[in-house]
Amino acid sequence: MDFDELIARLDLGTKIRLLTGADMWSLPPLPEIGLDRLVMSDGPIGVRGEQWSAVDPSIALPSPTALAATWDVDLVRRAGALLAQEARRKGVHVLLAPTINLHRSPLGGRHFECFSEDPYLTGEIGAAYVEGVQESGVATTPKHFVANDFETDRFTVDVRVSEKALREVYLRPFERVVAAGAWGLMTAYNSVNGTTMTEHADLVNGVLKGEWGFDGFVVSDWTAVRTTEAAALGGTDVAMPGPRGPWGEKLAAAVREGRVPESVVDDRVRRVLRLAHRVGALRGAQAPVSGDRPAVDGAALAREVATRGFTLLTNTGILPFQQVGRVAVIGAAAAEARVMGGGSAQVFPDRIVSPLQGIAERAEVRYALGTDPRIRLSPLPGPATAAFLDAGGAVLSEQPLATAEARWIGQLPPGVDGDRLAAVRLRTTYTPDVSGEHRLSVAGVGAFTLTVDGRTVLDGSIDLDGGDPAVAFLSPPERRVGLPMTAGRAYEVIVTHPAGMFGGMAYVSFTLGHADPGPGEDELMAEAVRVAAECDVAVVVAATTQEVESEGFDRADLRLPGRQDELIRAVAAANPRTVVVVNAGSPVELPWAEEAAAVLLTWFPGQEAGAALAEVLFGDAEPGGRLPTTWPRRLEDAPVTDVTPVNGVVAYGEGTSIGYRAWERSGRVPAFWFGHGLGYTTWSYDSIAAEGTSVTVAVTNTGDRPGREVVQVYVDRALAGFDVVEAAPGETVITTVFLPERAFQVWEEGGWRTVEGVHTVEAGRHAADPRLSATVKI
């Protein structure tokens, strides 16, 4: 396709218009050259589409730490094909994913959204994701380029990092996905060594587009472009969102005045046209995918990925359950699983299978809440109506809602003009089942009023703590009030709340929360202990909350929130056959681990959470996961924890030393090493042979059921290859992995140097469990 001929037909203003969003999620169509509107959407666990609500539901896969825990690039590629299918269904051309920043500190708020502490594993899983999505004709934008490994002050923080650490650690996954052919890439909010990433000519023009030969398009993170010339010259191709932004007429003036060469604008337009051509949005482009691809069953794949990512940390032999009687199912997250982390990674599935539902399909269950760690109340069940009001109180539009949760960003409902929108009035009728003191709440930022049957029961203004404006939309703070209510009586409940502004665009985000009157915390705990003692086995589901794992802020500690540690100890003391299911996207401290009969980590398991859990607990499927990140016993043991800027700077003073290699150097022992995970069978590691850069390993399934093993190969103690193998009882399988060039190289004085000599190659079950060893000479 002759892009230059198309570019020559566009005037400067039109070219520049193509480089800023037409709205929150799309670039403008240019019918005169046959270019369709190009639509982007988050990512990474599903495709949300242009609405931030359940109006157009999405398949919700397990979160990225779970996907990486499968260590299975073929499965990840299949997940990519499903995501592309979802994207096409929703008219999305570009999936804003995968997130390939690293688990530098366990406190990173988006840890759950990244794959691993290891750059090689991150790169391999990331590349499989990119290939899977793009093979089906949908673009990806691996993100956030680069060193966006924590959230505190992310818009302004300057990460100081050595060139060696950048090259060997933080850039490595990006280098890998670019080699895999990514069609897009998203720059980060933060600065690196003094320059904000949207303006980072050295890394974007120099390394990415120059050295690595990246021919895709570079999109800014949302609102990250703050300058005209510096960002345009720095290598950013597209500024999102729009249509307001620092380019437009200002960039046209910069071109006219010779401050930005027009060839720079043309190069950016060429990259957008190439993208459009690749995704089939430019007239004359071939359809990106042949029509005869078999449809992927989204729910089935979500369940498969979940079971394959579940990581069995300990097991005294209780799992899989054999002929169990009554099962005590305990915990808030057992009834309402936390299936995804917070922030832009959220999607809205049309169903969620809770652990309680999943287990109840297989056994007789008794449920007890035990304790509820959630800080915010759940939305009052609907139906509800949202009326969009202008400053004079006139209704611009009315929308039905399934629950009392109002959330719109980017796309406002038809008939609602963002410039006129002042507030939203949410109205619902609630008829309690029980009498007593109910709790109602409003979560949102700004002035609000809550009335019940016309009487104001709560009003005031909620301020945002901290500076991240995304939090006002993603996870706003809450105010509560207690109210006596009578069972069977219908109450009219109304909340009025102002619209907010993000990136020059109006948005709406607030929730009317509710909780029934209930027993006190101590009574709940005692009830759970009683239920556990009366059952054959107990399954406690412990989880982090929305306030713990989300985009927009980092974690303060690694403890399970609320009284969950206490609950687990009490239940395990009452019933020695207690299995603890840990429902968290990133490491949590497990101080009771030795008191439980088994600890199963389900991560954020996606929409099929409970169905997958039942399969694994009852032994239909083996828990296939291996940790993609080392889990500390206590936060203070972790070698790198710091996420708090000092004078606007976070210095990666540890250099290349993160993850298991840093643990090893520190001499400290974590709770569970990178790579650890048990299955339902046992393995012997029989032989290793290294020949050049290929390594052949033989392993035997020594147990009595079929199983799957992740054979991990380390070169000089760093992961350099892996493969997933399957074997029947007694069967030996042989696998050959090919070691990448980078496994034998270091970055020195501005270039890669191959370290000649003898290298140790080990195969084993985790980073600190080498079973076989060989050497290679390079």
DSSP 8-state secondary structure symbol assigned to residue 208: I
539: amino acid identity, one letter: V
Describe the chain by its helix, strand, coil percentages, rounded to 5: 25, 30, 45
The residue number whose beta carbon is nearest to ligand BGC equals: 344
* Distance separating alpha carbons of residues 545 and 115, to the nearest angstrom: 20
User: Which residue lies nearer to ligand BGC by CB, 42 or 547?
Assistant: 42
- The residue from 72, 221, 237, 554 that is catalytic is 221
Q: How far is the CB of 99 from ligand BGC (least distance, A)?
A: 7
Which residue has 């804003």 as its token pair?
96
Cis peptide before 146 (omega within 30 of 0): yes
Specify the length of the chain in residues: 778
Complex with ligand BGC: residue 105 or 344, whichever CB lies closer: 344
Closer to ligand BGC at the Cβ: 156 or 286? 156
Q: CB of residue 101 vs ligand BGC: minimum separation in angstroms?
A: 10
Please report, as residue ranges, which positions from 732 to 761 form the binding site for ligand BGC (by CB under 6 A). Answer: none
Which one among 191, 344, 511, 712 touches ligand BGC, defined by CB under 6 A? 344
Distance of CA 68 to the CA centre of its chain: 11
Please name which of 117, 106, 114, 33 lies closest in space to residue 676, comparing C-alpha atoms.
Answer: 117
Q: Among residues 339, 281, 433, which one has the least CA distance to residue 46?
A: 339
The minimum distance between CB 96 and ligand BGC, in angstroms, equals 4
Which residues from 421-440 bind ligand BGC, rule CB under 6 A? Answer: none
Task: Report the C-alpha gap between 295 and 496 in whole angstroms.
Answer: 44
**What is the contact mask toward ligand BGC in residues 179 to 218, using x (rule: CB under 6 A)?**
----------------------------------------
Q: Which is nearer to ligand BGC, 341 or 610 (CB)?
A: 341
Nearer residue to ligand BGC within complex by CB, 237 or 723: 237
Phi, psi angles (nearest 5°) of residue 49: 85, -165
List the interface residues with ligand BGC, window 281-310 (CB under 6 A).
Answer: none
- Identify whether the C-beta of residue 87 lies closer than 8 Å to the C-beta of residue 325: no
Q: How far is the CB of 225 from ligand BGC (least distance, A)?
A: 13
> Hey, how many other C-beta atoms are within 10 angstroms of the C-beta on 149?
28
Q: How far is the CB of 48 from ligand BGC (least distance, A)?
A: 8
Between 20 and 344, whose beta carbon lies closer to ligand BGC? 344
- Out of 42, 565, 589, 615, the residue judged to bind ligand BGC by CB under 6 A: 42
Interface residue with ligand BGC among 50, 153, 221, 664 (CB under 6 A) is 221
Say how far apart CA 624 and CA 569 lie, in whole Å. Answer: 27
Spatial distance between the Cα atoms of 229 and 637, rounded to a whole number of angstroms: 45
- Of the pair 42, 554, the CB lying nearest ligand BGC is at 42
2 is catalytic: no
Separation between Cα atoms, residue 471 and residue 502, nearest integer Å? 11
Q: Half-sphere exposure (CA, 13 Å, Cβ side) for 37?
A: 12
Omega of the bond prior to 98 within 30 degrees of 0, cis?
yes
Q: How far is the CB of 376 from ligand BGC (least distance, A)?
A: 21
Out of 470, 711, 733, 776, which residue is the one contacting ligand BGC (CB under 6 A)? 470
Least Cβ distance, residue 40 to ligand BGC (angstroms): 8
- Min dist CB 758 to ligand BGC, Å, is 43
Site membership for ligand BGC, residue 23 (CB under 6 A): no
Among 35, 92, 96, 613, binds ligand BGC (CB under 6 A): 96
Select from 747, 687, 678, 665 the least CA-distant residue to 709: 678
Residue among 143, 167, 427, 497 that touches ligand BGC (CB under 6 A): 143
| Pick 254 or 345: Cβ nearer ligand BGC | 345
Q: Count of residues binding ligand BGC (CB under 6 A)?
A: 7
Question: Looking at the DSSP assignment, which residues form a beta bridge with residue 145?
Answer: 187
Q: Provide the H-helix boundaries in 90-195.
A: 119-134, 163-165, 172-179
Contact positions with ligand BGC (CB under 6 A) in 222-241: 222
| Angle in degrees, CA 386, 551, 246, rounded to 5 | 80
Residue numbers at the binding site for ligand BGC (CB under 6 A): 42, 96, 143, 221-222, 344, 470
Just list the catalytic residues.
221
